[in-house]
Structure 1
Amino acid sequence: MKKELIEWGITILIAAVIVIVVRTFLFDSFKVDGHSMDPTFKDGDRVIVNKIQDRFTDYENGDLIVFRSEEGPPYVKRIIGIPGDTVMMEDKLVYVNGEPINETYVYYTNDSYMDDFTLEDLGVDGEEIPEDEYLVLGDNRPLSRDSRDFGLIERESIIGEVQLRFWPLNQMTVNFN
């Protein structure tokens, strides 16, 4: 009996260590809070975030990321501008490096509130996004708190890229671009 309890204890300890290592260094799950990413994510959706990518590859325009917020829980947003890009919004169109981008994922109505902006409006010195900073926007632009409100985000605040929506089960998804 004592040997069996020790074996169970060791098994539980190993499982706990594996879970801690995976959640700390590899992947983590997050709950989407609010409607700022509609229609891509709904309030209450659960996602898996890849924390490994940050160590091996650069983030790209269109990537969905989770990042730490100074104002509360982490945010889920879409990267629109990466270091070296010029970005502006005019008449509901976002221009990256002078070209309008095709944003089929954006949710808005004809009378939606949309802020036109330039990088200068967001507090950027110069015409390009600085190194290690990113411009992020929500897909539901009228409701989203994003770079239009709090400026660019620093790379060190990024937790990782969203790789999988696992909840609700009937909407499990792996590709968000």
Structure 2
Amino acid sequence: MAKEIREWAVAIIIAIAVIAVIRIFLFVSFSVDGLSMDPTLEDGDRVVVNKFIYDLTDIEQDDVIVFNSGEDSAYVKRVMGVPGDTVEMIDRTVYLNGEPLQEDYVVHQGESYMDNFTLSDLGVEGDTIPEGHYLVLGDNRPISRDSRDFGLIIEDAIIGEVQLRFWPLNEIAIDF
């Protein structure tokens, strides 16, 4: 009986250690709070965030990421500009390095609080996004708090990339 209890205790300790390693270093679940990424991600959706992906690859334009906001809980937004890019919005169209982006996922209902912007409007000195900084926008532009509100985010604030929506079950998705 004592041997069986000891075996169960060891198995439980190993399971807890494996779960801790996964949560600390590899993946974390995140609950979407708000409508700023609607329709891509909706309020209450649960997603898996890959925390180590950016140790292996570069952060790219169009990645959906989770980052620490510095004031509230973490935010989920879409990367629109990476270091070296020029980004501006003219008449609700985002221009990346002078070329308009085709953004089928964007909501354009009504006026947003900042339909037009340049990098200088966001407090950036110079014409391009500086090293270690990223411009992020929500897909539901009229209501999203994003780089138009708080400026560029720093690389150290990025938790990881959203790679899986697992809740609600009828809307499981991998590609965003």
Q: Specify if TM > 0.5.
A: yes
What TM-score do the two structures reach when normalised by structure 1? 0.97
Preserved contact between residue 92 and residue 114 of structure 1 (Cα < 8 Å)? no
What TM-score do the two structures reach when normalised by structure 2? 0.98
Separation in structure 2 between the aligned mates of residue 50 and residue 74 of structure 1, nearest angstrom: 14
List 4+ stretches of structure 1 deviating above 6 A. none
Deviations, residues 93-152 of structure 1 (Å, cap 9, x unaligned): 00000011001000122x332511100010001000000100000000011000000000
Give the CA deviation at 1:4. 1.0
Deviations, residues 44-96 of structure 1 (Å, cap 9, x unaligned): 00000111111111011100000011111100000000000000001100000
Q: How many residues align?
A: 175
Q: Which runs of 5+ in 2 are unaligned?
A: none
What amino acid does structure 2 have at the position aligned with 1:125? Answer: E
Q: Following superposition of structure 1 onto structure 2, how do residues 4-43 of structure 1 map, counting pairs within 5 Å?
A: 4-43=4-43
Matched residue, 1:92: 92
What amino acid does structure 1 have at the position aligned with 2:108? Answer: Y
Preserved contact between residue 32 and residue 46 of structure 1 (Cα < 8 Å)? yes
What amino acid does structure 1 have at the position aligned with 2:172? Answer: M
SS at match of 2:62: coil
1:113 aligns with 2:112: yes
Q: Which runs of 5+ in 1 are unaligned?
A: none
Preserved contact between residue 80 and residue 137 of structure 1 (Cα < 8 Å)? yes
Alpha-carbon RMSD across the aligned residues, in angstroms, is: 0.8
Identity %: 60
Separation in structure 2 between the aligned mates of residue 59 and residue 173 of structure 1, nearest angstrom: 20
Matched residue, 2:3: 3
